[in-house]
């Protein structure tokens, strides 16, 4: 499986799904997460988590699929295009 760089943006309502629940899922993919930033936005009552990943398309899909099934959570991902030969 080819690995690619990617990002995951997560916005969640911590009263519906606690941040600890998201952290447990992220830890299952810990070897593929190379950076994480989490910020509470108290004025809007949400928490925002951004991940930088180095993983396969299949594993990214597994991570975002598990997170996206949780109530009160929105998740989006972006993966870099594969490198071309000679780049």
Q: For residue 71, give the CATH number of its domain.
A: 3.30.70.1150
Would you say residue 35 lies in a domain?
Answer: yes
Number of domains in the chain: 1
Which domain does 35 fall in, by range? 4-79
Strands (E), the chain: 4-12, 33-41, 46-55, 73-79
For 51-61, write each residue's pLDDT tens digit.
Answer: 999 999 999 99
* Strands of the sheet with 73-79, listed across from one edge: 33-41, 46-55, 4-12, 73-79
pLDDT tens for 20-49 read 999 999 999 999 999 999 999 999 999 999
The answer to the question of residue 84 being in a domain is no
Q: Is residue 20 a part of any domain in this protein?
A: yes
Note the Cα 29 to chain centre separation in Å. 10
Q: How many CA atoms lie within 13 A of 5 on its CB side?
A: 5
Q: Do the domain assignments include residue 61?
A: yes
Residue 87 lies in a domain: no
- Report the predicted TM-score, pTM, of the whole model to 2 decimal places: 0.89
């Amino acid at each position: 499986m080819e690995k690619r760089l990617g990002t995951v943006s997560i916005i969640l309502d911590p009263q519906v799904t606690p941040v600890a629940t998201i952290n447990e899922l992220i830890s299952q993919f810990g070897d593929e997460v190379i950076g994480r930033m989490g910020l509470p936005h108290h004025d809007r009552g949400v928490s925002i988590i951004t991940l930088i990943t180095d993983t396969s398309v299949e594993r990214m899909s597994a991570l975002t699929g598990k997170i996206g099934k949780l109530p009160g959570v929105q998740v989006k991902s972006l993966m870099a295009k594969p490198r071309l030969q000679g780049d």
